[in-house]
């Protein structure tokens, strides 16, 4: 076992010496001065993890935190990042298959100075000493000290200590019922004394040990964190009432972390307490068995006398309320052992409870994108290469807004934006004439964000390509459109030499938002197919500079000619999604990220409607699709959109629908 007791020193003097013990998973380091042993090695700005502490109600100083164990992630993850400490603070780290090698521990000035009055009863590590366990695999260090090594954690632990030993009391239970629960994980009963002490000491135990206030309680709030406290008592022959009051507490800012691991924490705390009580009981009965402690026996039995009996006849006992935990348990390495046990609890909890992002069913865009990545079609592969694309999702949004406003304010055709959107969502061909092939692609890529991935077929060609092959086509200005091309929306775009500063997109605001998309949002078609590995690993400055150049090109663009079929200018027959897209693109109140999320949501909503239409239209029985359109809150004007968007469904989904329908038909037959 990585935490076996044999790995630790067996004498008390070794605790104050500098040493290191290397095991399979741990590296145990004993450091004499914490405030001189760690500096700059840990990031205190990170959210506090679970902290364990041993508290004691000292008869001389009141509630005190005796020992705190907390985990901190090593932010350096390097051999030695700072200036080396003096050789007195160096630590020897054994290497596999080699002798020890020196490694200097970076200096960490402790934020907290322990100015509270203390005696041996409420002290653990004197002079700022402490214990460090390094989990080499996880890169986490477990630090045990008398006070926490940062101010925030120290205040939380003190607050929890005060409440656990004062106002927060475990609910009393009947003696019989309480004893039964002690057998489980809720608490620990005081062990039965040695047989040689007889039933008399058993009666004394029942009369003097108030187990009603010992047990587990959970309390806390969002400001001071949540605490799981297990109060218990240790027998001490020279303490008032012959017992000392302690508590083991687990503190965390996340309430769910404690409640989800409640049974584990309670059982672990109970085991630690049980072992402490066994050691304390052995020392207590040993001290009572000595002939020199006859006065101790008389004082311990005085509580059994009737209330009217004059107890002042009993010999008075000389109390020693400052005896340390190491003394009452006869274990000079008790705090080293507690450090091992607390470290084991924190490390096990961290390993057992790992957080993972639960992703839902993949979207149709994700499935189509996966199918396209697996496809070895040379023609499609050339069109979806990283050299043809190179525009971020947020760039798409900013560019899309800019071009939409240009089309909306186009003097020669006031309804140009609505006509282009209608042609786009119904599967008609949109053709952009521009001599700059790179900008022509980016112009179409911006509008491609409004469509499902499977509905986007885009290229730049020197000759005309029909709509059944490419619905988004870019070409030079000199290319002639054949007569059999059908209904095509044509936009002729030129790039001016000078930039109109009044109409330049806000590059600064975009650069502030230029960052990777949120972790829980699925990557868009252009994010995945347009970025190479080098672009994904590019620096933020390079990305911001590139985005500024792209937006400058859009600021230079000018639409010199726009033509579209007359049927697209009839506003009464426009699909609902066209009105929705137009409203979003012209809304100046929406930021780039908000607009990206809303457009993505709108796209998924209409793609779900297309899925339903596809399922019902493939049924063997005749179904009135008009009623289905009313159910999904669509009209006949939306039917062309739903038919075209069925092309955005993945092949896997379509095959699954057909297989399900065929299997159901066979069952009925």
Q: What is the pLDDT of residues 538-556, one digit of tens each?
A: 444 444 444 555 567 777 8
Angle made by CA atoms 375, 378, 379, in degrees to the nearest 5: 105
For the ranges 256-265, 372-381, 438-447, the lowest mean pLDDT is seen at: 372-381
> What's the whole-number average pLDDT of the chain?
69
pTM of the full structure: 0.47
Q: Where in the chain is the domain with CATH 3.40.50.12430?
A: 364-588
131-140 pLDDT tens trace: 888 878 777 8
pLDDT at 366: 82
* pLDDT 10s digits, 556-592: 888 889 988 888 888 778 899 999 999 999 988 888 8
Per-residue pLDDT at 104 exceeds 60: no
pLDDT score recorded for residue 536: 40
As a whole number, mean pLDDT of residues 223-246 equals 82
Share of residues in the chain with pLDDT > 90 (%): 10
Q: How confident is the model at residue 428 (pLDDT cuts 50, 70, 90)?
A: very high
DSSP secondary structure, 169-183, as one string: -PPP--HHHHHHHHT
Q: Determine contact, residues 120/54, Cβ cutoff 8 Å.
A: no
Q: Token digits for 368? A: 């189509």
Q: In the numeric block, which tokens belong to residue 30? A: 């004993």
Q: How far apart are CA 528 and CA 524, in angstroms?
A: 6
- What's the pLDDT at 551? 67
Euclidean distance between CA atoms 334 and 279, whole angstroms: 10
Top-confidence residue, 141 or 170? 141
Residue 651 scores a pLDDT above 60:
yes
- Both tokens of 428, joined, read 């008609």
pLDDT value, residue 306: 56
Q: How confident is the model at residue 424 (pLDDT cuts 50, 70, 90)?
A: very high
Instruction: Name the DSSP letter for residue 108.
Output: B
Helices (H), 426-474: 437-448
Give the residue, 7 or 621, on which the prediction is more confident. 621
| Closest by CA position to 425, among listed 633, 554, 599 | 599
Q: Under CATH, to which class is 364-588 assigned?
A: alpha beta
**Residue 128 has what pLDDT?**
65
Quickly tell me which residue has 């929890």 as its tokens: 160
Q: Taking residues 35-41, what's their average pLDDT?
A: 36
pLDDT of 415 above 50: yes
Specify whether the CB–CB gap between 244 and 276 falls below 8 A.
Answer: no
* pLDDT tens readout for residues 520-540: 333 333 333 334 344 444 444
Which comes out higher in pLDDT, residue 288 or 106? 288
CA gap 493, 31 in Å, rounded: 71
pLDDT at residue 389 above 80?
Answer: no
* Residue 293 pLDDT: 56
Q: What percent of the chain has pLDDT over 70?
A: 62
CA–CA dist 303, 300 (Å, integer): 7
* Model confidence at 511: pLDDT above 50: no
Range with the lowest mean pLDDT among 278-287, 391-400, 474-483, 636-645? 391-400
Contacts of 468 (CB under 8 A, 6+ apart): none
């Amino acid at each position: 076992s990585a935490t076996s007791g044999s790995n630790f020193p067996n004498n008390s003097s070794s605790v104050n010496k500098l040493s290191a013990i290397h095991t399979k998973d741990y590296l145990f380091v004993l450091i004499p001065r914490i405030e001189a042993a760690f500096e700059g090695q840990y990031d205190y700005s990170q959210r506090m993890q679970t902290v364990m502490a041993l508290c004691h109600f000292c008869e001389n100083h009141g509630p005190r935190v005796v020992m705190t164990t907390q985990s901190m992630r090593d932010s350096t993850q390097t051999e030695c990042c700072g200036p080396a400490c003096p050789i007195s603070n160096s630590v020897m780290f054994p290497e596999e298959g080699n002798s020890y090698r020196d490694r200097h521990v970076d200096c960490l000035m402790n934020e907290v100075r322990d100015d509270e009055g203390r005696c041996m009863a409420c002290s653990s590590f004197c002079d700022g000493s402490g214990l460090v366990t390094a989990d080499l695999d996880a890169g986490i260090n477990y630090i045990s000290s008398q006070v926490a090594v940062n101010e925030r954690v120290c205040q939380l632990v003190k607050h929890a200590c005060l409440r656990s030993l004062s106002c927060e009391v475990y609910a009393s239970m009947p003696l019989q019922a309480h004893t039964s629960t002690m057998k489980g994980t809720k608490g620990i009963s005081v062990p039965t004394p040695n047989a040689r002490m007889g039933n008399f000491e058993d009666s004394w135990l029942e009369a003097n040990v108030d187990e009603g206030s010992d047990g587990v309680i959970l309390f806390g709030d969002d400001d001071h964190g949540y605490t799981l406290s297990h109060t218990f008592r240790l027998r001490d022959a020279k303490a008032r009432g012959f017992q000392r009051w302690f508590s083991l507490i687990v503190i965390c800012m996340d309430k769910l972390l404690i409640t989800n691991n409640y049974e584990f924490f309670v059982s672990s705390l109970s085991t630690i307490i049980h072992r402490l009580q066994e050691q304390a009981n052995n020392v207590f009965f040993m001290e009572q068995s000595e002939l020199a402690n006859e006065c101790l026996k008389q004082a311990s039995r005085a509580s059994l006398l009737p209330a009217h009996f004059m107890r002042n006849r009993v010999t008075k006992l000389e109390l020693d309320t400052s005896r340390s935990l190491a003394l009452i348990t006869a274990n000079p390495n008790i705090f080293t052992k507690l450090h091992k046990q607390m470290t084991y609890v924190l490390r096990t909890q961290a390993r057992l409870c790992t957080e993972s992002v639960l992703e839902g069913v993949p979207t149709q865009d994700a499935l189509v994108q996966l199918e396209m990545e697996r496809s070895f079609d040379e023609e499609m592969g050339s069109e979806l290469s990283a050299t043809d694309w190179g525009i971020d999702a947020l760039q798409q949004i900013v560019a899309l807004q800019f071009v939409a406003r240009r089309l909306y304010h186009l003097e020669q055709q006031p309804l140009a934006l609505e006509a282009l959107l209608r042609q786009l969502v119904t599967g008609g061909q949109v053709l952009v004439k521009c001599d700059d092939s790179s900008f022509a692609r980016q112009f179409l890529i911006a509008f491609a964000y409004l469509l499902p991935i499977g509905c986007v077929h885009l290229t730049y060609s020197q000759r005309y390509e029909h709509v059944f092959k490419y619905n988004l086509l870019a070409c030079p200005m000199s290319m002639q459109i054949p007569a059999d091309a059908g209904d095509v929306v044509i936009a002729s775009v030129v790039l001016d030499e000078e930039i109109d500063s009044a109409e330049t997109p806000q590059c600064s605001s975009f650069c502030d938002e230029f960052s990777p998309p949120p972790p829980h949002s699925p990557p868009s078609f252009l994010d995945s197919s347009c970025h190479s590995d080098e672009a994904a690993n590019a620096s933020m400055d390079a990305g911001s500079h590139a985005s500024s150049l792209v937006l400058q090109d859009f600021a230079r663009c000018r639409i010199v000619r726009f033509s579209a079929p007359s049927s697209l200018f009839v506003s009464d027959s426009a699909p609902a999604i066209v009105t929705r897209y137009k409203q979003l693109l012209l809304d100046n109140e929406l930021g780039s990220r908000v607009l990206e999320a809303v457009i993505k949501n709108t796209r998924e909503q209409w793609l779900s409607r297309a899925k339903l239409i596809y399922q019902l239209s493939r049924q063997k029985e005749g179904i009135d699709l008009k009623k289905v359109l009313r159910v999904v809150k669509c009209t006949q004007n939306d039917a062309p959109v739903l038919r075209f968007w069925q092309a955005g469904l993945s092949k896997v989904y379509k095959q699954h629908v057909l297989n399900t329908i065929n299997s159901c038909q066979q069952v009925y037959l």
